[in-house]
């Protein structure tokens, strides 16, 4: 994890292959058991929960003072790997087919769901970020992930209508 974060931040390499190559060429004496690219990639994939926890800590630490802690904004973004006319060949185990109402298209992909603290007149500050299959209903994600949060008003746009859910 330190190799990955260091090389991304200070060497501006964003692909895992380039990060591994840099580490092999310049950091081998510090990390003699670095291993092959495949082993490095597998270890990074196993750190998924650790990266999620790190992101939560950083979001909390850098939370602006002007956040409305009793109001949250829910939003989503489709991540399209290919249009619905074609069959998906990328990341089949984490993607599926769905319809994007705002774009008016069928697509293969996944969804990024954001729960953010409302900031008056500005973009919300992220509190949590989740990825789901594209076909998972937005209300299902809300019920599973965020319905147990108390003393909070949730603002969400669903098919042009605004839903205001208050949990007390």
> pLDDT of 89-119, one tens digit each?
777 778 888 888 878 889 888 998 888 999 8
How far, in Å, CA of 52 to CA of 129, rounded? 9
> pTM above the 0.85 mark?
no
Domain ranges of the chain: 2-46, 65-167
> pLDDT of 11-53, one tens digit each?
888 888 898 888 888 888 887 887 888 888 888 888 888 888 8
pLDDT for 166 equals: 54
> pLDDT of 42-86, one tens digit each?
888 888 888 888 888 888 888 888 888 888 888 888 888 888 777
């Amino acid at each position: 994890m330190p190799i990955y974060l260091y090389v991304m931040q200070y060497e501006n390499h964003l692909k895992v292959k380039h990060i591994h190559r840099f580490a092999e060429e310049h950091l081998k004496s510090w990390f003699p058991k670095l291993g092959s690219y495949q082993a490095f990639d597998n270890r990074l994939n196993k750190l998924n929960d650790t990266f999620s926890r790190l992101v939560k800590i950083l979001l909390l630490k850098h939370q602006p003072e002007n956040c409305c802690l009793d109001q949250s904004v829910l939003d989503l973004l489709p991540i399209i790997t290919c249009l619905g006319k074609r069959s998906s060949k990328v990341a089949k185990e984490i993607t599926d087919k769905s319809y994007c109402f705002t774009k008016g298209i069928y697509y293969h992909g996944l969804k990024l769901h954001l729960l953010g603290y409302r900031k008056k007149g500005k973009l919300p500050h992220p509190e949590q970020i989740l990825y789901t299959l594209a076909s998972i209903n937005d209300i299902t994600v809300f019920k599973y992930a965020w319905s147990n949060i108390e003393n909070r008003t949730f603002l969400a746009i669903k098919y042009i209508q605004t839903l205001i859910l208050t949990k007390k």
